[in-house]
Amino acid sequence: MAKEIKEEKNAAEQPEQPKETTPEFIASIASVLVIGLFIITFCMQAFEIPTPSMVSTLLIGDHVFVDRIRLAPKSGFIDKLIPYRDPRRGDIVVFVSPAEPGLFVVKRVIGVPGDHIRLLNGVVYLNGVAQKEPYAVHTDPTQRTQYKDYFPSIPPTPDDQLYMPWENTMRAYIEGDEIVVPPGAYFGMGDNRDVSYDSRYWGFIPRENVVGRPMFNYWSFMTPDDQWTKTSIGDRLGFLAHIVTHFFNETRWSRMLHVVR
């Protein structure tokens, strides 16, 4: 009993812990916001997948965080501290479209500088070797064309709708039946080969256009194929209301935190 009384007395004698003041609380919240803003601005960025060109690796309505550090251009004095590297074959990258400045696009890197590329009946040949691409799919046989599936040996037709500057310069990079990737550029294609508008149509991806690489889905919502074309305020508000009312039953919970490969 005496020991219990002594312990209670010691506890009573301990000074009361100071409470966090309002300015301290505001300062702590501000520091969290500043760190979060720094990370979002310089380290990672959120993107939504609007089209089916990367199905089934990425689905329409996938929301991904993109690593903006790893594939960033080297900056000299801190190169030894940050593991910068150039894009590699097989990397999925987000970049600014060469055909539509300001538009962010996601594709898979098929060829790096110096690579010789051709397609034969839809199969990619890299430096003369047929590639095994388990991620590549053909979802719409009606979209198969001679130009798309036998690139670049079959000339395009007006129906192929090439980006005009690419149509005018493409022949300069062709050797025989292959196209050669120039220095400082990459050849990218979507995993959904039948519907992907990619390097076959607008040319190479300049190194300086590369923004980063998708890391994982932080959310995925079932989204109509044509939702990205509906840009009016009414359409956007209508879809926002749809998300609110169907958040739980139309969220693809199985894709949450899904690593993009």
Mean pLDDT computed over every residue of the chain: 87
Between residues 141 and 184, the one the model is more confident about: 184
Region of 242 (left: φ > 0; alpha: ψ -120 to 50; beta: rest) is alpha
Query: What digits encode the pLDDT tens for the residues 231-261?
Result: 999 999 999 999 999 999 999 999 999 999 9
d(CA 184, CA 26): 47
pTM exceeds 0.75 for this model: yes
Residue 195 has pLDDT above 90, yes or no: yes
Q: Which fold has domain 44-234?
A: Umud Fragment, subunit A (2.10.109)
Q: Domain spans of the chain?
A: 44-234
* Calpha distance 134→257 (Å, rounded): 22
pLDDT > 80? residue 24:
no
pLDDT at 38 over 50: no
Q: Residue 44, CB half-sphere, CA atoms under 13 Å: how many?
A: 14
- Please check whether residue 71 is in contact with residue 86, taking contact to mean a CB–CB distance below 8 angstroms: yes
Q: What confidence tens digit (pLDDT) does each residue in 68-119 have?
A: 988 987 766 566 667 789 999 999 999 999 999 999 999 999 999 999 999 9
Q: Across residues 5-9, what is the average pLDDT? A: 49
Whether 54 shows a pLDDT value over 90: the answer reads yes
Q: Is 35 a residue whose pLDDT tops 50? A: no
Give the whole-angstrom CA distance, residue 256 versus residue 182: 38
Amino acid at 105: V
| Residue 42: predicted pLDDT | 54
